[in-house]
Structure 1
Amino acid sequence: MEIYLIRHTTPVLEPGLIYGRTDLALHTDFPIELEAVKKKLDIDFDIVYSSPAFRCTELARALSLGFTTDLRLQELDFGEWEGKTWDTVDQIALQQWMDDYVHACVPGGESMMQMHSRVAAFWQELLQSDFKKVAIVTHAGVIRLILSIVRQIALKEVFDIKLAYGEVIRVDGKVPDNL
């Protein structure tokens, strides 16, 4: 199975904004970024999955009118921090989260381990399907977690994976022996 992990294009946001689940408009360069993404693909997909966030569904819609949204492809839930900026949240709570973002929950949100569980469930289900060519339009956090599964990267190291807006990464969907 060929799987294309596609990060959404550039959203409109203020510097330092915390926007895991916050819905954002797309930058006015969306048509240009869309064409750049399409040039990287040139594939007819059996299915296109998307996070339900607007910044993902607009790109997914441009790739396939029949795309499917899946809640498990949402970005990390930043809970009480959603829509705030990093410098305005409780700095003690922020430091506690940054010291152990894999296990610590954002106030009112989720931990990376919780997010990993839902993304891994989606991934395992996908690998059991009969699709040959799949596109997944989602967020940097979700892509990092999928890559952590595929490449066996420790969760504490996933932020070492740098992803640009509109980036496309092709992976082979192979069912591991322990599934």
Structure 2
Amino acid sequence: MKLTLIRHTSLQVAEGVCYGQTDIDVAATFHDELAVLQSKLSGEQFDAVYASPLQRCSKLAYALGFDHEITHDERLKELHFGDWEMQAWNDIPRELFDVWAQNYADLSPPNGETFAALQQRGIAFIDECLENHVNQHVLVVTHGGMIRAMMAHVLNMQLKGLFRFHVDYASLTRLDFSGIIPKIEFVNR
């Protein structure tokens, strides 16, 4: 099985704002970014299409125009930042942010979730796809945090290194589970 992961397009939100699971709309550049993505995906065939139910992913999944039913899956949502949602990163108390930043795998923002919990959602999604889509190619429209967590899983790396991966808006990442050892075919295409 192969998973082609797409990070949603740019968002209609001020730079420097923590937005996680807040349901933010796409930016005015949506159609331009969509056209670039459609060009990148030209000739690709998918057996199933999944998307985070947040509108920035759902809109993109539908706009891509594949002839598949789109399955919305809650597990594909971005990290829930709890009380930090929609706050400017600079307005979050530095002492709280620094403690979280040192161990975001196991600590959550107040009333949010940990990256370990996000990754477990991603692993459960992958495991279900491995059962239901043997030898198939699955398209997944999701978020940067989820893509990073899935890559960390494939690489068997600690979550502490997640932000060493830069995942661009409207980029493609492909994970290949067809062999004995899962592989990352490419990132940010």
1:176: Cα distance to partner?
Answer: 5.7
Flag the structure with more relative contact order, 1 or 2, with Cα contacts below 8 A and sequence separation at least 6.
1
TM-score by length of 2: 0.88
TM-score by length of 1: 0.93
Q: Evaluate the alpha carbon distance shift between residue 149 and residue 175 of structure 1 in structure 2; reply closer, same or farther with a 3 A threshold.
A: farther
Provide the aligned length of Structure 1 versus Structure 2. 177
Is the Cα–Cα contact under 8 Å of residues 8 and 139 in structure 1 kept in the other structure? yes
Matches within 5 A, 1:1-179: 1-42=1-42, 43-63=44-64, 64=66, 66-130=69-133, 132-174=136-178
Partner-residue secondary structure (3-state), 1:122: helix
Inter-partner Cα distance in structure 1 for 2:97 and 2:172: 31
Aligned-partner residue type, residue 174 of structure 1: S
1:153: Cα distance to partner?
Answer: 2.4
Aligned-partner residue type, residue 8 of structure 1: H
Consecutive unaligned residues of structure 1, counting only runs of 5 or more, are none
Q: Evaluate the alpha carbon distance shift between residue 81 and residue 176 of structure 1 in structure 2; reply closer, same or farther with a 3 A threshold.
A: farther
Inter-partner Cα distance in structure 2 for 1:11 and 1:59: 12
Is the Cα–Cα contact under 8 Å of residues 128 and 175 in structure 1 kept in the other structure? no
Partner-residue secondary structure (3-state), 1:3: strand
Taking only aligned residues, the RMSD between alpha carbons, in angstroms, comes to 1.6
Is the Cα–Cα contact under 8 Å of residues 101 and 111 in structure 1 kept in the other structure? yes
Aligned-partner residue type, residue 31 of structure 1: H
Is the Cα–Cα contact under 8 Å of residues 127 and 174 in structure 1 kept in the other structure? no
Aligned-partner residue type, residue 71 of structure 2: T
